[in-house]
Each structure stands twice: as C-alpha cells, then as structure tokens.
Amino acid sequence: MILAIDVGGTKLAAARVTPEGEIEETRRAATPQDADAGTLWKALRELIGPLSAGVTGVGVGCGGPMEWPEGVVSPLNIPGWRGFPLRARLSGLFPGLPVRVHNDAICLAVAEHWRGAGQGVRDMLGMVVSTGVGGGLVLGGRLVNGGTGNAGHIGHVIVEPGGGPPCGCGGHGCLEAVARGPALTSWALAHGWTPRTAADPDHPEERAVTARMLAADARAGDPAAVAAMRRAGRALGIAIASATHLCDLELVTIGGGLSQAGELLFGPLEEALREHARMGFARRVRVVPAALGQEAGLIGAAALILAADRY
Amino acid sequence: MILAIDVGGTKLAAARVTPEGEIEETRRAATPQDADAGTLWKALRELIGPLSAGVTGVGVGCGGPMEWPEGVVSPLNIPGWRGFPLRARLSGLFPGLPVRVHNDAICLAVAEHWRGAGQGVRDMLGMVVSTGVGGGLVLGGRLVNGGTGNAGHIGHVIVEPGGGPPCGCGGHGCLEAVARGPALTSWALAHGWTPRTAADPDHPEERAVTARMLAADARAGDPAAVAAMRRAGRALGIAIASATHLCDLELVTIGGGLSQAGELLFGPLEEALREHARMGFARRVRVVPAALGQEAGLIGAAALILAADRY
C-alpha cells in the first residue's frame, strides 16, 4: 500500500493507494495558516497517521519551489516552510521505504498521463491554470524532470515580450502574468467589468472577486469578462504553440479552475494555437481538459512510487 | 568504422569515423542544383563509394522535414528530393547494417553534446542560427526526439505574438522569422542600412546582401546594422528564456553563421535572457558559441550510431 500526500497552501490531503493505483481511503485537512514549521509538520503527521499501516512507499506532491530530488521545500503559499526538509522528515517516519517529493504541478501532469486524459500518449504537456500556471512534461513516455526538477514551467514561457505585464517571478510578459486567475480578474476590472455576484448583499462571502465569477459573467455575455477570457485563451494558445514546436507534443491537458470556463477559454486558445502552430508536425497537437478531478494530485504522487520507472 | 553523411542544400559531405569518434577521412561535393532524385542519389553514391570499405553503420544528418525514424526526406533546400526514401536506399547499399537518419539541426546539437561545448551537460539545447533557426534538445543526458523526430524546433517558438513578421512555416512572429540571416538583412535594409561592400564595384560577387556583411557593418558602427543585430539578439534571448523555463536547461549552444557576430549578437541576447529568465532555477542557464566547426554535422551523424544509447 502506498501513502500519497498532496501539500497545498489551503489544504493538506493524503490517501492510501493500492498497488493498482486505486485510492482506498482519503483524508483532508485545512493547512494551518500563519503556522510555524513545527505546527505544519504536526498537522501533516496527524493527517497521515491513520493511513500509515502497511505502507511500502510514500509519494508527495508539494507546491514549489523546492530543492529536488532532495525534497527540501519552500512552498510559496506556505510561509512557515522555508527550506523545510519534507522528504527527510517523512523518511524518518518511514525508515527504509522509498519517499519521493515532486512539484505539485508535475504530479498533476503525471496523473493525467498515468490515469487521465493522457493515457498511452508519448509526448504531452500537462498544464494547470489556476491561481498560478504550471505544468509537467512527459516526453517519450517518461517524465522530464530537468536538471533541477523544474521542467514543465510553461507559466514562464514568454507570450508578451514587449512590455507585457510584470510577473511574480520578477520578469514580465510570462504566460502566468497574463493567464493566472487573479491577472484575469484584475485586467477585467480595469477594462470595465463590474462583477454581478459581488454586488449581491446576500452573498457577502463572494465579495472577493474570483476567476469563477469572471467566467460566469463571461457566459452571461459581459463584454469585458468575455474579452478577459479571450486574452487569457490566446496567451495560452501562443505558449502552447511554442511548447509544441520545441517539444514536438501530441497532447496538452489543461486542469485547474480556469479550465472549467469551456469554450470561452478554449475557443480563443484554439484560434491562437492554430494561427501559430503551422509546421506540419505541430498541427497534430490536441488540447483537452484534464480528465481527473480533485484527487489528481494524490494519484500523481502515488505514481512517483508505483510507476517510478516512467515518472 | 562508421560512415557519417551530411546532406545539405549546397553541399554533400561524408566521412569515415572511427569507433572512438575521430574523423579519419572526409569528402565533400557540391549538391547538384535543380537535379532530379536519381541525379542526387548518384552524386551521393559517388561521394560515399570510396569511404565505404569496412563500414559497420551509417549515420546521416539531412535537412528537414522528414518522416522519422523512417528517413523519408523532403529537404526544403533540395527540391529534387520530395519523399525520397534515403534511409531505405542506404540500407540497400549496406544490407544488414544499422542506418539512422535525423534532422541536420539535431545532428549539430548531438555533436555539441557528444564532443563539443555541451560535453557532460545533462540538459541543453543546441541551436543553429543561419539561413534558418533550428535546434535539438538533450534532456537528462539523452536526445529528445519528440513523437515525430521534430523536438528542438526553437526557430518556431513565438517571440513577437502580436503581428510579428510572417514566417516560412505559415505562422508569424516565430524566432526564425525575426532572427534568420535573410530576415536580419531585409530588416536592416528597410531601416536605412546601406551595405558598404555591396557598393564596391571591385567585388561584384558580393552584390548579394548577406548576414556576414551585415555583421561586418555592425562592427564598423553602422546604426541600422547594429539595430538589426540587436533585434535578432533580443529575439534569441526571449526564445531561450522560454525554452529554459519549459525544459529546465543548463546550457544553450549557438552555432551557424550568425553566431560569429560575437558581442553584437550575444550582448542583446544576454540582456533579454536575463530580463526574462528570472525563476531561480532558470538563472543558471549559460549561452555559449558552439565549439565544433564545419565537421559538426558529420560528428553528430556518427554519434547516431556510435552513441545510439543516448542519441
């Protein structure tokens, strides 16, 4: 039995996964906010304790950046862990067992290749478009780690080179700076979008403007919301065209909250992609929504152990 | 003894290469122009005939596109070969021996990794900037082919998404459309460059405007020539930043005629690269001139046989 762990800024999740890759039992807990390293570790231990009997390996997806493959993690959204030796600590709990830690976006890509929309595909990019934009590369049927475990960072492919918006990475014009959820809503607000739900006094919890609200308003025909989705979709299409030419991709899967937007996002994405991916070999690329839901991270983490020959 | 072959639009080259990767003997011939498939094949046979004794394998670099790994080639610059079964024909000449055919840009990248500036590097992109812009990817110490043998096409990474110049691939804003030699000279002429050498009646053979002349005039301080080199350098830097983020590269090598331009090209390249490659892991990337000269294509072709486990 494998223990799979998914460490995120808002929630911790863990599961017992059978050797066949089936999730047997899952537990979730809120990630302690503003907590120190010890409190966070205690919360994770309490979560996984009841799942640990008979475990033969531990796979972990965690927000980056991290030192890889050492698994010393500094997740952007978990300030209490800076240089936290997650892999070593888990090895202490499970002495002698294989423990692997990888970037959460990479685990999502691995999951889609292993059990999702990318099954049987040799060359794919698994993307997640949400608060950030990330991904993982599978080429020749195997996960590409890159020298530091950071291959697949499509969020920092350049889509607006000349004075594009500033990015959290310190650069500008990155795909993430254009297409991450908060960038979309900011752009829409600055271009005349007035969120409908935010004006509803019965739902004060929705005063925070979200990409989900933007997508809903775009579906309802709000011009600025439609334009914002179009801008993000085209940026995604341009970045995917670049990645397809560079890596000779057959498939791109897109998961994360924004991928729920459907045709409003995928329409402009396809338009820009087909405009730019013109080499014969590049025209075969297909872009599809990710097939797995909220358990994808756990499935990918389990694959790090159960299919370690490929991932 | 390995037979290495390099098929280009202007010249054919072939060599006997020892098992240690040393070139023992090289022969070259002009590629017959406006020739039919049979004439081209005859020229190649005559070139390799004297090199064929005791050969145990044949490696070939050829201009793309091609059906890979079948080696059915349709080089852009050799109109007489459209769907020519180069690999099968060579297998007919060398029955029972391994014959491999790959894209010429990939052979150059392989050569730099095997015997050039990329020796010992795990993750690199080998580029060539000349009449076209191409490349090959080595990740995790192994050549990445991609599903159709076309991985490494950095020339079609998008660097000017909004209305960039049209590209030979049918798209627009590709790196190749900006940074290939003929694009540079056209841009410079349109922006006020008057080639000095072209005005010299004593050198009528240099009436054709070349990127070499542009580089010379840039070195002499011609403002439009300098601006053209700067434009190409920045486009290269942007594309390399994108590739570095996506593939977690440690090294990029640049060969081809334009790479001779030195600081005039590499200065703006580094400036744009450092402006855009800001993720911690991406800052380590180094960009260096290719180390091998005109025999690089043959060396890479030989590696397809002599180091087939990696390439």
What pLDDT shows up at residue A203?
A: 53
**One domain, residues A55 and A190:** no
The total number of structural domains in chain B stands at 2
Determine whether the interchain pair B159/A157 forms a contact, defined as Cβ–Cβ distance below 8 Å.
no
How many CA atoms, within 13 angstroms, populate the side-chain half-sphere of residue A102? 32
pLDDT tier for residue B1 given thresholds of 50, 70 and 90: very high
Co-location of A187 and A299 in the same domain? no
pLDDT of B203 > 90? The answer is no
Q: Could you give the residue ranges of the DSSP H alpha helices within chain A?
A: 37-48, 86-93, 104-115, 175-179, 181-190, 211-219, 223-247, 263-276, 296-306
Q: Note whether A250 and B147 are within 8 A (CB).
A: yes
B113 assigned to some structural domain:
no
Mean pLDDT of A36-51: 98
Q: Give yes or no for a contact between A99 and A91, defined as CB atoms under 8 angstroms apart.
A: yes
Whole-number percent of chain A with pLDDT over 90:
90
CB spacing of A248 vs B146 below 8 angstroms: yes
Q: Give the span between the Cα atoms of A3 and A59, in whole angstroms.
A: 6
**Does A113 fall in a domain?**
no
Based on the domain organization, do B162 and B249 belong to the same domain?
Answer: yes
* Structural domain includes residue B112: no
Q: Does A148 share its domain with A40?
A: no
Residue B261 lies in a domain: yes
- Does residue A114 belong to any structural domain of this protein? no
* Position A249 in a domain: yes
> Are residues A17 and A102 part of one domain?
yes
Is residue A127 domain-shared with residue A258, that is, in the same domain?
A: yes
pLDDT at position B204 is 52
Residue A278's alpha-carbon distances to A267, A281, B170, in angstroms, are: 18, 8, 6
Q: Is residue B265 located within the same domain as residue B124? A: yes
pLDDT digits (tens, 9 = 90+) for A136-195: 999 999 999 999 999 999 999 999 998 899 999 999 999 999 999 999 999 999 999 999
How close A204 gets to chain B, by Cα (Å)? 37
Do both A21 and A65 map to the same domain? yes
Task: Return the residue of A nearest to B274 by Cα.
Answer: A171
**Global ipTM:** 0.94
Residue A256 Ramachandran class (φ > 0 left, ψ -120 to 50 alpha, else beta): left
Query: Quick one: pLDDT at residue A197?
Result: 65
Cβ contact A248–B147 (<8 Å): yes
**Domain presence at residue B114:** no
Across the interface, of B156, B242, B284, the residue whose CB is closest to A279 is B156
Three-state SS for B129? strand
Determine, for residues B249 and A154 on separate chains, whether the beta-carbon distance falls below 8 Å: no
Q: b/e per residue, B198-219, with b = 16+ CB within 10 A? A: beeeeeeebeebbbbbbbbbbe
- Give Cβ neighbours of residue B290 (< 8 Å, ≥ 6 apart): B108, B112, B116, B117, B126, B128, B253, B254, B255, B256, B259, B296
Which tens digit of pLDDT belongs to each residue from A265-292?
999 999 999 999 999 999 999 999 999 9
Segment 223-252 of chain A within 8 Å of chain B by CB: 238, 241-243, 245-250
In a shared domain, residues A139 and A246: yes
**φ/ψ bin of B245: left (φ > 0), alpha (ψ from -120 to 50), beta (otherwise):** alpha
Whether A102 and A217 share a structural domain:
no
Please, is B100 exposed, middle or buried when counting C-beta atoms within 10 Å of its C-beta (0-12, 13-18, 19+)? Answer: buried
DSSP strand pairing (B99-103 vs B72-73): unpaired
**Cα-to-chain-centroid distance, residue B81:** 19
Per-residue confidence (pLDDT) for residue A117, from 0 to 100: 98
The 10s digit of each residue's pLDDT in B29-58 is 999 999 999 999 999 999 999 999 999 999
Assess whether pLDDT exceeds 90 at residue B208.
no
How far, in Å, CA of A311 to CA of A118, rounded? Answer: 14
* Residue A59 and residue A23 share a domain: yes
pLDDT average, residue stretch A243-257: 96
Domain check: are A176 and A31 in the same one? no
> If pLDDT is split at 50, 70 and 90, which confidence band does A200 have?
low
A159 touches A178 (CB < 8 A): yes
What residues make up the domain containing A224?
120-289
What tens digit of pLDDT does each residue of A95-149 get? 999 999 999 999 999 999 999 999 999 999 999 999 999 999 999 999 999 999 9
List the CATH number of the domain containing A277: 3.30.420.40
pTM metric for this prediction: 0.95
Structural domain includes residue A115: no
